[in-house]
């Protein structure tokens, strides 16, 4: 869960699909274009439910 604690706008994964932290959201970027977002709190809940 390194991306939850990342610095703002830090690219966390190299390649076509990236996750970026923006404030309290995680932005999904594909081929350089933002394609979705999820609040960090919602992502934490979803991961904990696995």
Radius of gyration of the chain from Cα atoms?
10
Instruction: Walk across the sheet containing 25-30 and list its strands.
Output: 17-22, 25-30, 33-39
Model pTM? 0.63
pLDDT tens for 1-50 read 565 666 666 665 666 788 888 999 999 888 888 999 999 999 889 888 88
Number of domains in the chain: 1
Return the pLDDT at 30: 85
Return the pLDDT at 32: 84
DSSP string, 1-50: -GGGGPPTT-B-S-SSEEEEEETTEEEEEETTEEEEEEEHHHHHHHHHT-
Return the pLDDT at 24: 92
| Segments forming the whole domain that contains residue 10 | 2-48
């Amino acid at each position: 869960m390194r991306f939850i604690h990342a610095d703002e706008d830090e690219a966390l994964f190299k390649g076509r699909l990236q996750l970026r932290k923006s404030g309290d959201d995680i932005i999904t970027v594909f081929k350089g274009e933002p394609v979705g977002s999820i609040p960090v709190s919602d992502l934490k809940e979803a991961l904990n439910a696995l």
